[in-house]
Every structure is written in structure tokens, then in C-alpha cells.
Amino acid sequence: MSALDPDPGPPPVGGEAAEVLVTIERFLADQQPGEASGTLTRLLEDIALAGKLIASRTRRAGLTELLGKAGVVNVQGEDQKLLDVYADEVMTSLLGGHGRVCAIVSEEQAEVRVLDPDAPYVVVHDPMDGSSNIDANVSIGTIFGVFRREDPTAEPVQTDWLRPGRDLVAAGYVLYGTSTMLVYSVGQGVHAFTLDPEVGEFLGTWTDLRFPDDAAYYSLNFASLPHWDSGMTRFVEWLNRDDTPTLSQRYIGSAVADFHRNLLHGGVYGYPGEIDRPEGKLRLVYEGAPLAFLAAQAGGRGSDGARDLLDITPTDLHERTPVFLGNADLVDQLERCFADGE
């Protein structure tokens, strides 16, 4: 194939290339014709618009002095980057005020924000994931999950948002990479859309994405190897058990980007607990659970090493958990490696 050949070839993934040109708004509406009010559809459209705004600002980051720190420390004790703050504000301003979103849980906010007490949905999000990569022009993303309240007429209560991932009705991410891509599921498979920046629309790229059976990658930060326990050591030995390993190692340090690559090409991403930090680094509510929901919808799994991430009920908004996401057979194997030491 020459560099000028317009044929991109078959998708390198376990999904179907979109057959017709379709915007995300049209796809969402067609996918959920039974949803009486269309409220969830419009909520997801709001998130798509937030993704466009954040993508636009991300592309201009180097031009508009957005690189660097905002000068404040967030609830995790981490420096907030300006893009973290901007992305958090965009999500809040677009999701509030329509009677759709009762409350928002954000990595960047210590407390839950109740926007509209009578609204039916709760959104959890990590507005800017992988923000340590911003300065270096590496892919970053926004992760989101949506819960439907059991009783929207009642006062909002903690159990509206401290819920296991299995209760999610939608989840997804926007990846700000070489292109901007929105990947989401409402429990009917995983679908991916690419932003055409000239037209300003997310256009269908793949429907029904599935982790390919032949996984290509594992994604772990091996600098932490001395801090991992024996279960992880067994898993690493298993990954490298042959003279000619079938999996390559790839680690970006943006969970969204690592997850996305492994979704397309097959693999497992992990942020393990450590001996002195058994809870790991990633947050269950707005990182682990939404990505586990997507993984399950794509035929894969999410685990904390022993339990399915979707089964864990959080007790704190910013609860941390070890996170493993990817092909089901790889996550199963990882759990066996942890269980072997018990």
C-alpha cells in the first residue's frame, strides 16, 4: 500500500467498521428508540459536546499557556493541572441545568455536587485522566459513568452514587490522542466514534468492539515491580513464561489510552496494589468501575485481583482499588496467580 493509497485496510480490531456515515447523536437516538424520554441520549450528547470542547482546548494547550499547574492541590493531594480544572468545569456546566443530572462525582471535587435534586441520573467522571502526560503531548482522556437513580422523586442520598459498577447504565471515555475518539456503551455493546475536527462531529468508526482473542499487549508500570506482592510476581512470570513471549509490553501511563489500545489489539492493563499501598492508585468510582463496565461489554473483564470490579460497592467517593482490565482470559489468569498464594 502506498502512502497515498486511501484504503486504510480492515480495522485492526475485534469490531465492525461502521457501515454507514453516522453521527453519534443519530446513532444514540437509533440505538435507544424505546427510551421514552430520550433523557439518557441527551445526557450522552452533552458529554460528547464536553469532549469536543475539551479536545479543542487540549489541542491548543501549548498555545494558550494551559500547560503546567493550576497552583492548587486536589482532594487526592495531587497538583491540579489547568486542563484538569477546565475539563471539570466543562463537564459540570454542560451536565447541569437540564433536569437530567441529579449529581456529579468528580476526581477533582472533594464532595459530590448536587445539581438538580429531582433529576434521574448521576454522573461520575475523571475529567482528565493521565494528566501527568499533558506537558509531554501524550494521549489523555475523560472517563465517565452514568447511574440511574432508583427514585428520582426522593431526596438525593449517598446510595445514589456509592453504587457498584454493575448498576451503571452507561459508561465511556473520550480519548484525546492523535485523533479524538469517544467510546461508550449503554449496555448494548461498545461503540467508537472519531471526531472530525473540520465538521465538528463524532462520526461512527466501529460498532460492537470486542477484545480480540489473540491479545497483543500487557500494560504495567514495571518501575513498581519491587513493591508488588507475590501474586503479581507470579503473573509477571506467567506473562514471560516462554522464550518467545506472545505479548509485548506497552505502558503509556494514561489509563484511558492504555485501555483503548488493549481494547483494539487485545491485552491487559494493570495498576496493582503495592506492599505499602495495597489499595493501589486508581479510583474505583470514576476510573475502575466505568472502564470495567466497558471491558465487560467488550467481552473482557475488570478485577481488583480477587473480585470483579463491577461487584464492589464503594464506601467513599474517592476510594482507591487495584485495577486490572482487559481480555477475560488474562484477567482470569491474573486472579489465579493471586489466589495461588492464599
Helix (H, G, I), strand (E, B) or coil at 74: coil
Of 45, 46, 107, 274, the residue at the interface with Mn ion (CB under 5 A) is: 107
224, three cell numbers: 513498581
**Rounded CA gap, 173 and 141, in Å?**
7
What does 80 interact with, of ligand AHG, Mn ion, none (CB < 5 to 8 A by kind)?
none
Query: Of 41 and 131, which CB lies nearer to ligand AHG in the complex structure?
Result: 131
Q: Burial, 125: exposed, middle or buried (Cβ in 10 Å; 0-12, 13-18, 19+)?
A: buried
- Do residues 209 and 316 lie in contact, with contact meaning Cβ atoms separated by under 8 Å? no
Q: Please, are residues 331 and 268 in contact by the beta-carbon 8 Å criterion?
A: yes
Asked if residue 145 lies in contact with residue 123, where contact means CB atoms within 8 angstroms, the answer is yes
Of the listed pieces 95-103, 119-127, 165-173, 269-277, which binds Mn ion according to CB under 5 A? 119-127
Question: Minimum CB separation from ligand AHG for residue 135, in Å?
Answer: 12
Closer to ligand AHG by Cβ: residue 130 or 300? 130
At position 247, the amino acid (one-letter code) is L
Taking the alpha carbons at both ends of the chain, their separation in whole angstroms is 53
CB closer to Mn ion, 54 vs 94: 54
Contact 105, 124 (CB under 8 A): yes
253 binds, among ligand AHG, Mn ion, none (CB under 5 to 8 A by kind): ligand AHG
Binding site partner of 265, from Mn ion, ligand AHG, none, Cβ cut-off 5-8 A by kind: none
- How distant, in Å, are the alpha carbons of 80, 104, 270, 290 from that of 84? 6, 15, 23, 19
Interface residues with ligand AHG (CB under 6 A)? 107, 126, 129-132, 221, 253-255, 271, 281
Closest CB 106 distance from Mn ion, rounded Å: 9
129 is a site residue for Mn ion (CB under 5 A): yes
| Residue 254 binding target from ligand AHG, Mn ion, none, CB below 5 to 8 Å by type | ligand AHG
Say whether residue 88 binds Mn ion (CB under 5 A). Answer: no
Any contact of residue 258 with Mn ion (CB under 5 A)? no
> Could you tell me the three cell numbers for 69?
499547574
Residues 29, 198, 16: CA angle, nearest 5 degrees: 50
Distance between CA atoms of 185 and 168, rounded to whole angstroms? 10
Closest CB 159 distance from ligand AHG, rounded Å: 25
Interacting partner of 221 out of ligand AHG, Mn ion, none (Cβ under 5 to 8 A depending on kind) = ligand AHG
Minimum CB separation of residue 316 from ligand AHG in Å reads 16
Q: How far apart are CA 91 and CA 93, in angstroms?
A: 6
The partner in contact with residue 271, picked from ligand AHG, Mn ion, none with C-beta cut-offs of 5 to 8 angstroms by kind, is ligand AHG
Q: Is the Cβ of residue 92 or residue 131 nearer to ligand AHG in the bound state?
A: 131
Write out the residues near Mn ion by the rule CB under 5 A. 107, 126, 128-129
